Amino acid sequence: MSTTGQIIRCKAAVAWEAGKPLVMAEVEVAPPQKHEVRIKILFTSLCHTDIYFWEAKGQTPLFPRIFGHEAGGIVESVGEGVTDLQPGDHVLPVFTGECGDCRHCHSEESNMCDLLRINTERGVMIHDGESRFSINGKPIYHFVGTSTFSEYTVVHSGQVAKINPDAPLDKVCIVSCGLSTGLGATLNVAKPKKGQSVAIFGLGAVGLAAAEGARIAGAFRVIGVDLNPKRFDEAKKFGVTEFVNPKDHDKPVQQVIAEMTDGGVDRSVECTGSVQAMIQAFECVHDGWGVAVLVGVPSKDDAFKSHPMNFLNERTLKGTFFGNYKPKTDIPGIVEMYMNKELELEKFITHTVPFSGINKAFDYMLKGESIRCIIPMGA
């Protein structure tokens, strides 16, 4: 392309300080360096993780910054050493990566790459410790190596999944974070068998994706647990068959579920980050074979407490990161599931706003009105 090796000036939504509306600005995007790719972002989406770090509650604030990490686009140019991607490829940038060289990448059991595992505090590129974004010579920080709230972004090639060019980027862009996290937690880690029962704690986007995984796996009963009764009707579209609101009961919710299911569910997936919900998810599975999977990220000072007999009675507790999917290896396959009509993505997409109105997407999510809001970059 004619822009190869050149600085590109484009629009980006910049967060200048915590909790304040993003500001549309012209940024300069430097060419990709060694093992990097510059991508023209066509569609991005808003994930709650963007909100969490934009609010900067409980973390070290890092501003000015370009957020965004669920997106789809086309490779504009590649840096030195990039051999598996080329200009014109349709891709999804991912907040974690797959270097292909570390022990985790060589293991069939892990997707937690040593080099490219998510780092929310790093605002620069790994290669040289510099930002590829600037305004009037002042660096603008990156976010989780993706920064997709920009018409062009630079990403480490290990964080870029090449996908089917026929896949609609305005749909499959949501595969790059929340959808895969919940789906994989069920299909890859909990692994319910056909006809089994599954409890999903938290019916946000990740929990609904976990429910979608239970539907695909053929679960007979899918019990949704959430404090917000407004989420229950929506969850039916994702295969949830029954609902439990802990506020409606004067006994622990794990006891309620055990009574509903003759001793407990076969599998549970926790998608809230609440340590109380994590304990409930573990203690509500059936002894002898029950498996509970933790997905939500707890507060740093939380501690998980359950009686050892719950383990000795052959309940299993597992954790998962990004649904145990390796980004470059596995994400293209999830896109193919959608293309083969095995996976429904449209029902996750509740809103669309133009890039110039990106702050409206934040409003929708803060009010709990959206599952996923798609943001076309050209609008």
- Residues acting as catalytic residues: 47-49, 69-70, 99, 102, 105, 113, 117, 177, 372
Query: 362 with 46: CB under 8 angstroms?
Result: yes
CA gap 182, 173 in Å, rounded: 15
Q: What angle do CA 313, 321, 205 make, to 5 degrees?
A: 100
Given its phi and psi angles, is residue 273 left (phi above 0), alpha (psi -120 to 50 degrees) or beta? left
Helices 275-283 and 253-260: crossing angle, nearest 10°? 30
Beta bridge partners of 201: 225, 270
SS3 140: strand
Cα end-to-end distance, the chain, whole Å? 23
Q: What phi and psi values does residue 39 have, to the nearest 5 degrees?
A: -120, 135
Beta-ladder partners of 294: 270, 319
Residue 220 gets the label, from left (phi > 0), alpha (psi -120 to 50) or beta, of alpha
Find out whether 36 and 157 touch, Cβ atoms under 8 Å: yes
∠ CA 368-347-341, nearest 5°, is: 155
In this structure, what token pair is assigned to residue 362? 């934040």
